[in-house]
Amino acid sequence: MRTRPDLIEHLPRLRRYARALTGDVNRADDLVQDTLERALAKLDLWQPGSDLRAWLFTLMHNLFVNQIRVRRPQETVMEDALDVPVSGGQMEALAARDIHAALAQLPEEQREVLLLVGLEQFGYAEAAQVLGVPTGTVMSRLSRARERMRQMLAGEPAVKLKLVI
């Protein structure tokens, strides 16, 4: 019998990405659940030895794109984005709040790239594979996303993070 891959160890990171992507706890977990169901249904198509995590994120991307295609007409911005609880001190909470609001205002295709690269640590080529676009497209979306975020977050000097590279 073919060895079954362990989907469960990918759950925490799928949930983190979905939470950042949708800005909503329930919508995020619904997306994760749909992803797992699709993954189990299509598990025979997954190539053993290839990157299971990237495959799962690809499934999630496809579901997310279908969802926003359906939701787009009646939905504008994610109003729940500010209600997501954050951990840590007050400064951190403020920064997180800003990042939630800024993320919500990014176009979905830019938000996905920013999160895959900046949060989930996919390489550019891997992110391109997950999203089904050329690497050049990933780079231009990343560039636009980061610049747009910079402009949105620039108005808040009080929470600007000090960084030593």
Partner 1 sequence: MTDVQEHELHAYVDGTLPEARRLEVEAWLAANPADAERVQAWAAQNQSLHAAFDSVLNEPLPLNLVRATRRPALPVPFKAMAATLAMLVTGLVGYAIGLGNGEQAPAAPVYLARDAAIAHVVFSPETRHPVEVDAAHADHLVAWLSKRVGTQLQAPDFSAQGFDLLGGRLLTGETGPVAQFMYQDKIERRVTLYVRRAVAGNTETSFRHATENGVDVFYWIDGDFGYALSGQIGRQAIRQLADAAYQQLVTASANP
Give dist(CA 30, CA 130) in Å, integer: 20
Among 54, 68, 99, 133, interactor with partner 1 by CB under 8 A: 99
Q: Quote the DSSP letter at residue 107.
A: -
Q: Which stretch binds partner 1 (CB under 8 A): 44-52, 59-67, 70-78, 119-127?
A: 119-127
Give exposure, 86-111, as e/b (b: 16+ Cβ within 10 Å). Answer: eeeeeeeeebbbbbbbbbbebeebbb
Least distance CB 157 / partner 1 (angstroms): 12
Of 159, 122, 155, the C-alpha closest to 138 is 122
Among 117, 128, 130, 131, interactor with partner 1 by CB under 8 A: 117
As given in the structure block, the two tokens for residue 138 are 């990933």
Counting Cα atoms < 13 Å in the Cβ hemisphere of 125 gives 1
The residues in 33-92 that bind partner 1, with binding defined as CB under 8 A, are 33, 36-37, 40, 84, 86-88, 92
Least distance CB 74 / partner 1 (angstroms): 27
Residues of this chain that interact with partner 1 (CB under 8 A) are 1, 4, 6-9, 11-13, 15-16, 19-20, 29, 32-33, 36-37, 40, 84, 86-88, 92, 95-96, 98-100, 114-115, 117-119, 121, 123-124, 139, 142-143, 146-147, 149-150, 153-154, 160-161, 163, 165
